Amino acid sequence: MIALHSHPSGRHFLQIPGPTNVPDRVLRAIDNATIDHRGPEFGVLGKSVLAGMKKVFKTEADVVIYPSSGTGAWEAALVNTLSPGDLVLMVETGHFATLWKKMAVKLGLRVEFLEGDWRHGIDAAQIHARLTADKAHEIKAVCAVHNETATGVTSNIAALRQAMDDSGHPALFMVDTISSLGSMDYRHDEWGVDVTVAGSQKGLMLPPGLSFNAISAKALAASGTAALRRSYWDWKEMLAINPSGYFPYTPATNLLYGLHEALEMLFAEGLDHVFARHRRYGEATREAARAWGLDILCKNPDEYSSVLTAVVMPDGHSADAFRKVVLRHFDMSLGQGLSKLSDKVFRIGHLGDMNDLTLCGTLAGVEMGLGIAGVPHRKGGAQAAMDHLAQSSMAALAQAA
């Protein structure tokens, strides 16, 4: 019998949907000596990363960078644009939409939270109907999660913007892209988003610790009359000094080194190629799940996530027990089910710094783990994914020839 060691050889497979694996290039960049954040060298760095983030957001609007988790960027979006008692429209697409809603309530906002089943994205027609019915324009903002990390379900942001436009409603539009930015196509300007929220630890391939707001002119104007109290999160302080590359308080210098390197990697690969790579890995992972005979949590194929897949465990079997088996035997971390989905699903992250062989190793570990844990399934899921990857590679070569 093979002994299981507390210090296994080889690399750990971090296949949760964030934080993701940090590339060696980025780790080496973070390891540079800290510099004077008021000196000329830092100003060059600051201008570079701010300009690079505009490219990722696909915006000409202002972008601010906070030393915080994505939760901080959620708060910044709300407190800079809204006043106590304002009504905000949100949709229950999953765990993180629910957390954003809870934050809004704590900040003194009123929230209308449209119920969801955690298996579908936001219904644009429902948003259109609710905004059309709001003749007094009581709703001040619509908040949406682009890619719900807890469920592997995406919402069509362009369709939501169209619904808002068709209703003629003036509400602000805020979007959480924490698990999609840098991995899935996103267009702040073209889709008419007023505040986009993002974080460093997923598609941007960094450790946790940086968060972002992309800010439209309409949102910036709203910040002039917003009455929610703010200090650390105030856009005004950031935007006053950012054009020179500096920050109003001590920035996370070494994480900004890493961001600069990560942006170089994304632009070298090309954002369109990055998005296509993630779509391909999502397709291969779903091929594996279908071959295993397991249910994919997301019900609508048009809403499948490119960055993670949530797989439903068969009745009577524990997702957490399965995840423990995979970690113990194969040194691989899979995402757990959150809140309503606790112990009911496991999540396979397929985003960030990974390639075909990383995904194949991941899916092989899942399949072997299913067998060891005694979870009913059919064999051949990893092979189905490999076949998909090979066929898509051959198709790409033929197209390029």
Radius of gyration of the chain (CA): 22
Asked if residues 92 and 155 have their Cβ atoms less than 8 Å apart, the reply is no
65 CA to centre of own chain: 16
Closest CA to 128 of 91, 176, 81, 82: 91
Closest to 348 measured CA to CA, from 394, 302, 292, 281: 281
Neighbours of 243 (CB within 10 A): 11
Q: What b/e sequence results for 35-46 when a residue is b if at least 16 CB atoms lie within 10 Å of its CB, and e otherwise?
A: eebeeeebeebb
Residues of the binding site for substrate = 347
Give the strands of the sheet with 13-15, arranged side by side.
13-15, 332-336, 345-349, 308-312, 295-296
Q: Which residues are annotated as a binding site?
A: 347
Token pair for residue 8? Answer: 């296994």
Hey, what amino acid is at 91? Answer: V
